[in-house]
Amino acid sequence: MSGTEERDNRPGGPDTGGDPACWLHRVCDACGRIREQPDGDACEHCGAGPETAAGPETAAAPPPVAPSRPRDRDEQGRARNARPRDGLGRPLPYGSPGVARQPEGVPRTPAQALAEAQQLLDDGMPFHAHEVLEDSWKAAPEAERGLWRGLAQLAVGLTHAARGNASGAASLLGRGVTALAPYADAAPYGIDIAGLTCWATELTGRLDSSTAPVQAAGSAPRLLRDPR
């Protein structure tokens, strides 16, 4: 993660309360790298634009400009995208039926967060699991921020793999493994750092540009070490 992303996504930063750390909208579908300006016309890393990512034969004419709408906010008045999403977190048109997102800012103990995230992963909802882990990342002490960020990145990587975005999945899985590496010896809260690293490496090895979307539930990792 770049210094800009780290700064902007800290609690109290400009993106707090929105979609600050999910990184899903920042990943270029063409090269899999994190874009610094995701709303720009072309990826600054590989130059891919809408036509490159979709293929010239499927590129559509720009849609008409829609009237601007007030920024979405939650019940506490914090900025949060209110567009409905499907089970993998993909935005749907306003007014469409969607899958409810996890409530933001819920206080959880580490054990509660890990149990809730594991259940969501097992249910094939890694995007929703990342929202739980992101909450813990925001609330964690400085020494644990990398731990929870890494777990959230692994969940986002699985989300991309389930969406069929192999390059984005590999990018986020790699970032998650890197973030978790400093915690390998301590394995805080019983988190299976070694097992998660092996899982991410194995999943990355199965991905390429022609790989079909993986089954999210069937590919879900185990967050905790086997107590036996």
Higher pLDDT, 93 or 45: 93
Taking the CA atoms of 72, 83, 118 and 146 in sequence, report the sign of the dihedral they define: negative
Higher pLDDT, 31 or 115: 115
Q: Which of 136, 124, 135, 148 is nearest to 221 (CA)?
A: 124
pLDDT at 172 over 90: yes
Residue 53: which pLDDT band, with cuts at 50, 70 and 90? very low
DSSP assignment of 31-94: T-PBPSSTTSSS-TTT---HHHHH-TTTPPPPPPPPPP-PPPB-TTS-B-----B-TT--B--T
Residue 65 has pLDDT above 70, yes or no: no
pLDDT digits (tens, 9 = 90+) for 74-94: 555 656 577 888 889 888 888
Q: Is the pLDDT of residue 121 over 70?
A: yes
Q: Could you tell me the pLDDT band of residue 35, with boundaries at 50, 70 and 90?
A: low
Q: Tokens 């921020």 — which residue?
A: 145
- Whether residue 28 is predicted with pLDDT greater than 80 in this model: the reply is no
Structural domain spans, the chain:
3-56+79-206
Tokens of 146: 């990398």
pLDDT for 149 equals 96
Q: What is the pLDDT of residue 92?
A: 86
For residue 114, is pLDDT > 90?
yes
Tens digits of residue pLDDT in 179-193 = 999 999 998 999 999
Better-scored residue on pLDDT, 69 or 139: 139
| Measured distance CA(25)–CA(5) in Å, rounded | 13
In this prediction the pTM is 0.70
What does pLDDT average to over the chain?
Answer: 78
Between 27-31, 118-122, 159-163, 177-181, the lowest mean confidence (pLDDT) is in 27-31
Question: pLDDT by residue (tens digit) across 1-25?
Answer: 333 233 333 333 333 333 444 555 5
Q: Is residue 115's pLDDT more than 90?
A: yes
Q: What is the pLDDT of residue 60?
A: 42
Is residue 153 scored above 80 in pLDDT?
yes
50-79: average pLDDT:
50
